[in-house]
Amino acid sequence: MAHLLVTGGAGFIGSNFVHHVLEHTDHHVTVLDKLTYAGNRASLDGLAEDRFTFVQGDICDAGLVDELFSAADAVVHYAAESHNDNSLHDPRPFLDTNIIGTYTLLEAARRHGTRLHHISTDEVYGDLELDDPARFTEDTPYNPSSPYSSTKAGSDLLVRAWVRSFGVRATISNCSNNYGPFQHVEKFIPRQITNVIRGIRPKLYGTGENVRDWIHADDHSSAVLTILERGEIGQTYLIGADGEKDNKTVVELILSLMGQPADAYDHVTDRAGHDLRYAIDSTRLRTELGWQPRYRDFEAGLSATIDWYRDNESWWAPTKDGVEAFYTSKGQ
């Protein structure tokens, strides 16, 4: 796999993966990214020019996709519309990118015989009760609750169908919530961090009891690289780092780590269809492929993330005011 094509490689999780691959392997990486609001070319600044190529384009562009697949040894598919609130406001882009875009990639993989790894989310499984000891496994039935998670579930099923029907050499991973550098300030953790930096009180949906299973983006990257290199074709792997925390705890920890009173935040109206709890069982990935997370201490990983946003205000500042204006208009 000397030449990797990474779709959505200017987005949050994709750009972290590109940095990880260039740091830990000798591969050449080509990034294909449409540079919607969620993609940021600056997230790829400073990468070695002899090992990295950037192409601005749409994964629904079959001609461009075919050209790039013809030169790639393997493809990692991160490109997606991924914000739940946006999917409730306008579902159509989620259908275009997550369904039609994934179909376009699968057809190219079919024509060229290219190894493909598809990045998905634990949100396809719906949610768990707060007091339920169970966690999601690879056998958990799909039960998506938003246009975003529904289209991701659909894209997963397309991958499985193309593996079975056409022999496409693909794997799937469903990951829990990521945090770390290069995450758009519309997302939960960076929004709260950048609010504190700007002197704005953080916002918490509802009572803040909703639980997310957090994983540092670098651990997600190492897991994906492991699956790409050693995963069984046709298999699905769940990626998680045992990082269950309720949103109230996360906000209060951010405030404490940033030297603020732990209760210096405001409650806002809960969003529609807000899933209660996500929790990942990554036993298969750990036992069959030998992967282990590096950031086992959530507080340490969160502290490093806070430092990154403090040190890189020029990266996130251009979008901050627009994001806060949008949420203010919704009372959030």
Are the C-beta atoms of 210 and 166 separated by less than 8 Å?
Answer: no
Q: Which tokens hold the place of 13?
A: 């999780």
Q: Which residues pair with 211 in a beta bridge?
A: 246, 277
Between CA 242 and CA 247, with CA 245 as vertex, the angle to 5 degrees is 150
Integer Rg of the chain from CA: 19
User: Exposed, middle or buried, 252 (CB in 10 Å: 0-12/13-18/19+)?
Assistant: buried
Active site residue 123: yes
Choose, from 33, 81, 123, 275, the residue flagged as catalytic.
123
Choose, from 58, 122, 213, 281, the residue flagged as catalytic.
122
Are the C-beta atoms of 315 and 182 separated by less than 8 Å?
Answer: yes
Q: Which tokens hold the place of 153?
A: 């579930």
User: Exposed, middle or buried, 139 (CB in 10 Å: 0-12/13-18/19+)?
Assistant: exposed
Active site residue 148: yes
Choose, from 103, 148, 278, 309, the residue flagged as catalytic.
148
The total of other beta-carbon atoms located within 10 Å of residue 92's CB is 10
d(Cα 287, Cα 83) in Å, to the nearest integer?
Answer: 32
Are the C-beta atoms of 238 and 280 separated by less than 8 Å?
Answer: yes
The total of other beta-carbon atoms located within 10 Å of residue 60's CB is 18
d(Cα 259, Cα 299) in Å, to the nearest integer?
Answer: 14
Q: What residues act catalytically?
A: 122-123, 148
